[in-house]
């Protein structure tokens, strides 16, 4: 046992004495050796790449720059996705144009044929307004700037305006953002629907049937539609219009406009096209209808309502997507500006660290001399 202890002590002593001193007054710089009185870099230093030791602040800035650049990539991708969806929405609007024009033409021809008898149609009859149903169209998701908040404020203002006049008001809310907002504040909600990113005829039919049943049953005297009117990629306007009862003059004399998203050198823009009113279809005086023309008009009006609801949903979705494009573009621009500022700050911190190291090396060399 004594032999083993003595051997261990000798090994420890050799470990401390066999290696050269880590710091001696004979070596001019740490990690370097003197050959023929000339300071030469060691082999390990020649093979190692130059590194700069920075403090925690510079490393934190570098990590933040990486995070901001990744965020910019995400926002730019979201902008491009929204642009693709805008194109799909405009294609859907163009696909419904032939049906809308034919419906408007046939309706105009029947109105001319009937003359003043249209006053007997329930959907064209004006009532004394005692109760109004507000149909509010919002989005299902956020990250679209002030799109949802502007629409909600418009609906609240219209609700207060009607209630101050002593008119009873209930609401049909479309879109998760509006549903969550108005439910939390205990507004009288009759029915709720999801908006989605790709409105379909089936979805519009369910909404129009609910509105028609509400009006024809006498539960409400007027139905107002609150939606976001698409103006351009950087502007949209919350609008209010009376949906039911219809006005024969509005149906037969109201034109339409189509927006088309275009791109030039990576920049998006919108081209607006004004469409003229469809000419009323001419029915000869000796034409005999199998059904009463009034019944035909009564059958056309629900189809017209369904088309108007679908068109409104498509326009609102296009406005939401355009607002999201603009919001993501602004976020990308802000991320780029922030990355540039952080790069300047990072370079300053890096230069300060390099300067501090140089000063320490010079001070150490001066102390050794």
Over the stretch 84-130, which tens digit does the pLDDT of each residue have? 887 787 777 777 777 777 777 777 777 777 665 445 777 777 888 89
Lowest mean pLDDT among 69-73, 133-137, 353-357: 353-357
Q: What are the helix (H) ranges across the chain?
A: 2-18, 43-47, 56-114, 147-164, 176-184, 201-216, 248-253, 293-368
Q: Which residues contact 146 (CB under 8 A, 6 or more apart)?
A: 323
Residue 41: pLDDT band by 50, 70, 90 thresholds?
A: very low
Q: Are strands 168-174 and 131-137 parallel, antiparallel or unpaired?
A: parallel
Angle at 43 between CA 41 and CA 47, to 5 degrees: 105
Given a cut of 90, is residue 135 above it in pLDDT?
A: yes
Instruction: Return the CA Rg of the chain.
Output: 37
Task: Answer whether 132's CB lies under 8 Å from 354's CB.
Answer: no
Instruction: Calculate what percentage of the chain has a pLDDT beyond 70.
Output: 72
Q: Where in the sequence numbering do the catalytic residues fall?
A: 144
Q: How far is CA 160 from CA 170, 187, 249, 368, in A?
A: 12, 11, 30, 84
pLDDT in tens, 177-186: 999 999 999 9
Output the CA angle 208-213-217, nearest 5 degrees.
155
| CA distances to 182, 220, 280 from 168, in Å | 16, 9, 38
Residue scoring higher pLDDT (102 or 310): 310
pLDDT band at 256 (very low <50, low <70, confident <90, very high): low
pTM of the predicted structure, to 2 decimals: 0.69
Q: In the prediction, which pLDDT does 17 show?
A: 41
Q: Rounded distance, CA 14 to CA 111, Å?
A: 114
Give the pLDDT confidence score for residue 11 in this predicted structure.
Answer: 44
Mean pLDDT of 264-285: 60
Confidence of residue 192 (pLDDT cuts 50, 70, 90): very high
Would you call 23 exposed, middle or buried from its count of C-beta atoms within 10 A (0-12, 13-18, 19+)?
Answer: exposed
Mean pLDDT along residues 327-341:
91
């Amino acid at each position: 046992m004594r032999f083993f202890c003595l051997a261990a002590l000798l090994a420890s002593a050799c470990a401390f004495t066999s290696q050269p001193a880590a710091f001696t007054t004979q070596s001019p710089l740490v990690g370097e050796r003197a050959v023929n009185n000339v300071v030469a870099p060691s082999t390990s230093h020649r093979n190692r790449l130059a590194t700069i030791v920075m403090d925690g602040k510079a490393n934190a800035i570098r990590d933040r720059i990486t995070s901001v650049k990744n965020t910019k990539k995400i926002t730019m991708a979201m902008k491009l996705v929204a642009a693709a969806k805008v194109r799909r929405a405009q294609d859907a609007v163009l696909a419904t144009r032939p049906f809308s024009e034919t419906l408007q033409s046939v309706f105009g021809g029947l109105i001319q044929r009937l003359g003043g008898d249209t006053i007997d149609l329930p959907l064209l009859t004006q009532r004394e307004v005692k109760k109004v149903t507000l149909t509010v169209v919002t989005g299902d998701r956020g990250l679209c700037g002030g799109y949802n908040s502007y629409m909600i404020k418009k609906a609240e203002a219209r609700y207060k305006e009607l209630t101050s006049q002593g008119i009873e008001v209930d609401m049909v809310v479309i879109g998760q953002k509006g549903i969550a907002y108005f439910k939390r504040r205990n507004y009288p909600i009759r029915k709720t629907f999801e908006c989605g990113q790709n409105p379909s005829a089936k979805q519009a039919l369910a909404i129009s049937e609910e509105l028609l049943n509400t009006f024809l049953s006498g539960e409400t005297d007027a139905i107002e539609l609150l939606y976001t009117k698409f103006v351009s990629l950087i502007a949209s306007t919350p609008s209010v219009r009376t949906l039911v009862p219809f006005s024969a003059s509005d149906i037969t004399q109201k034109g339409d406009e189509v927006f088309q998203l275009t791109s030039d050198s990576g920049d998006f823009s919108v081209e607006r096209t004004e469409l003229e009113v469809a000419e009323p279809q001419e029915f000869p005086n000796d034409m005999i209808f199998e059904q009463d023309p009034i019944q035909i008009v009564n059958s056309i009006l629900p189809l017209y309502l369904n088309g108007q609801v679908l068109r409104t949903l498509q326009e609102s979705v296009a406005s939401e997507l355009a607002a999201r494009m603009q919001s993501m573009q602004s976020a990308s621009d802000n991320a780029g500006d922030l990355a540039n500022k952080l790069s300047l700050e990072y370079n300053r911190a890096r230069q300060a660290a390099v300067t501090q190291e140089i000063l320490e090396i010079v001070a150490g060399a001066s102390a050794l001399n």
